[in-house]
Amino acid sequence: MASDTSKRSSYFLITPMAAIFAVFLVIPLVTIVIVSFWDYDEYRILPDFILENYSYLLGSSVTWSIYLNTLKYAALTWLFTLLIGFTVAYFLAFHVRSLTWQIVLFMVCTIPFWTSNIIRMISWIPFLGRNGLLNSALINLGIVDQPLEFLLFSDFAVVLADVHLYALFMVVPIFNSMMRIDRSLIEAARDAGASGFETLKSVIVPLSKPGIAIGSIFVITVVMGDFITVRLMSGGQSASVGLQISNEIGLLQYPAAAASAVVLLITVLLIVTALLRLVDIRKEL
């Protein structure tokens, strides 16, 4: 009896969340899959079952170069956020000794991530632009004669903005994993004669793996689907899968956008599945 009522209350409590996910996540994704087989003309989308959206997409060399470009952004952003995130988390977890300072410094890292992404991208313009701070400084110091053109509206700017936007996604889970490492393990390693670097390599890195995996999932999926950073920071000179989808949406070619979306979703899911082999998410909470 008691378990019956408690079960019923569990279902009552979970229904609102399950319903929202059903209506605004599951049904829309199913809609995308269905529409990716539909036909379209200039004005509307036409229910049908054709494979041309896919054959056109996968047969075009543009698609492959766009995927390559997006993967390049994802890989570079992943590499830099991982290096920065690990170092920052390591400093906070093992070198800052009082809990209060840990919390304060952690908050200092976190606050920018609660502000607008678009504004944070725009804020690079006065720094990187042709007459920006960096170019003026380089010219004044005599390092270069002419302003560097590649700083803004380039692949460099896209990756820089991505790292700037998403580094925290690495810091938080890695810091979380590091805080759970039993400090006596590190003492044991030191007592056994391990140098600082050896301790890092054979104790801290392996035990931080779940955090690294979760951070990687976050950063890679968000960069794979991004279009706004690429559009703003490359100045329209580079493409990404997300940008392609948003352009097709702009042209009202919904079935083509849907087919691109399905391929992107499959790509992202493959990457995530590979990373999930390294970590059991539910155990990490």
Partner 1 sequence: MADARKTRERRPTSFYVLAAFFALFVLFLYGPMLTIFILSFQGENGGLTFPMNGFSFHWFGNLFERQAVGDFGGSFLRSLKLGLIVMVVTVVVSFMAGLAFRRRFKGDSIVFYLAIASLIVPSILISLGIGLLFNIIEWQPQWFTSALGAHLTWTFPFGLLIMFAVFNRFDPSYEEAARDLGASNWQTIQYVVLPMVGPSLIGVAMFSFTLSYDEFARTLMTAGALNTLPLEIYGMTTNVTTPVLYALGTVTTGFSFLVIALALGSVAILRMRKGQKA
Among 10, 60, 202, 237, binds partner 1 (CB under 8 A): 10
Q: d(Cα 165, Cα 152) in Å, to the nearest integer?
A: 16
Q: Min. distance of Cβ 9 from partner 1 in angstroms?
A: 8
- CA distances to 29, 40, 173, 209 from 269, in Å: 13, 28, 20, 20
Return the number of the residue (65 or 87) whose C-beta is nearest partner 1.
87
Q: What is the 3-state secondary structure (H, E, C) of 127-159?
A: HHCCCCHHHHHHHHCCCCCCCCCCCCCCHHHHH
Residue type, 275: L
Residue type, 124: W
103's tokens: 């919390």
Pairing of strands 39-40, 45-46: antiparallel
Among 37, 67, 78, 124, binds partner 1 (CB under 8 A): 124
Binding region for partner 1 (CB under 8 A) out of 50-58, 61-69, 178-186, 221-229 = 221-229
Q: Does 118 bind partner 1 (CB under 8 A)?
A: yes
Return the axis-axis angle of helices 155-179 and 205-224, rounded to nearest 10°.
140
131's tokens: 């007459």
Q: Does 256 bind partner 1 (CB under 8 A)?
A: no
Return the number of the residue (196 or 206) whose C-beta is nearest partner 1.
196
Q: Does 105 bind partner 1 (CB under 8 A)?
A: yes
Binding region for partner 1 (CB under 8 A) out of 54-62, 184-192, 205-213, 226-234 = 226-234
Print the binding letters for residues 25-54 with partner 1: x by CB under 8 A, - otherwise: xxxxx-xx--x---------x---------
Q: Does 167 bind partner 1 (CB under 8 A)?
A: yes
